[in-house]
Amino acid sequence: MRKAIMLSGMLAASGLVGAHLWAQSPPPGGAPAGMKPPVSSKDPKAAPAGHYSVDHEHSSVIARVSHSGFSYNVVRFAVADGELDWNPLKPDAIKLDVTVNTKPYNAPIEYKMPIEGPGMLNVAAFPTAKFVSTGVKPMGGNKADVMGQLTLWGVTRPAVIHAELVGAGTGMGGKTVTGFTGTMTFDSSEFKEQKPMSLGKITLVLDAEFHKS
């Protein structure tokens, strides 16, 4: 169980790439006076090309790790920083750079061995994980594969985020917004020596909302 949790933490730390992207909706009575309600579209072109920065309040990474093949342990991590160069008409020009804090949050359970300790995430030595894109491959509609480099525990390996556009358009207050959800699966042994038991494959779920600069 502890190893499974450790896995989740590690996974999430990998950070890559990804929180329920942009779920802004007007209150029951409508948008506040003087504000237009948000307008969201699945069309990538609804968000114009340009530089976007992550909205920390609506972005996160969730790590899912198998517990001996019986269930999954889940750990959540905050997105520390995220930058997106967006161009819906030129996928080759799209660039993504995301940094994730490896210290988990919203973990109501206290484990006998702290997840952030040296035997698990080792947050003191490796406080962040990072994903930097190297290319984007459109997969049709609002989906794409984002290829890149994932740095976790000081080790960098190739990784792929299977991404889906959740919404693009105009948010509250007239901000230009685009948001994505994505998944990444990797073998933890490629980043860290596992003793006495391999942590196995880890799945990360990245949800991220970006606002145009």
CA 147, 184, 206, 128 dihedral sign is negative
Supply the DSSP string of 179-194, one letter for each residue: EEEEEEEEEGGGTS--
Per-residue pLDDT of the chain (213 residues; tens, 9 = 90+): 444 333 344 444 443 333 333 344 444 545 566 678 899 999 999 999 999 999 999 999 999 988 778 888 888 999 999 999 999 999 999 999 999 999 998 666 666 667 787 777 889 999 999 999 999 999 999 999 999 999 999 999 999 999 999 999 999 889 999 999 999 999 888 887 665 455 678 899 999 999 999
Most distant CA pair in the chain, distance: 61
Q: Which residues, at least 6 apart from 187, have a Cβ–Cβ distance to it below 8 Å?
A: 200, 201, 202
pTM of the model: 0.80
Of 131, 133, 121, 124, residue with least CA distance to 192: 121
What is the enclosing helix (H) or strand (E) of 6? helix 2-13
The fourth-level CATH superfamily of domain 2-22+36-212 is Lipid/polyisoprenoid-binding, YceI-like (2.40.128.110)
Give the pLDDT of residue 2. Answer: 41
Residue 186: both structure tokens together: 């990797």
Give the pLDDT of residue 8. Answer: 41
Contact by Cβ (8 Å): 135, 92: yes
Q: What is the DSSP letter of 9?
A: H
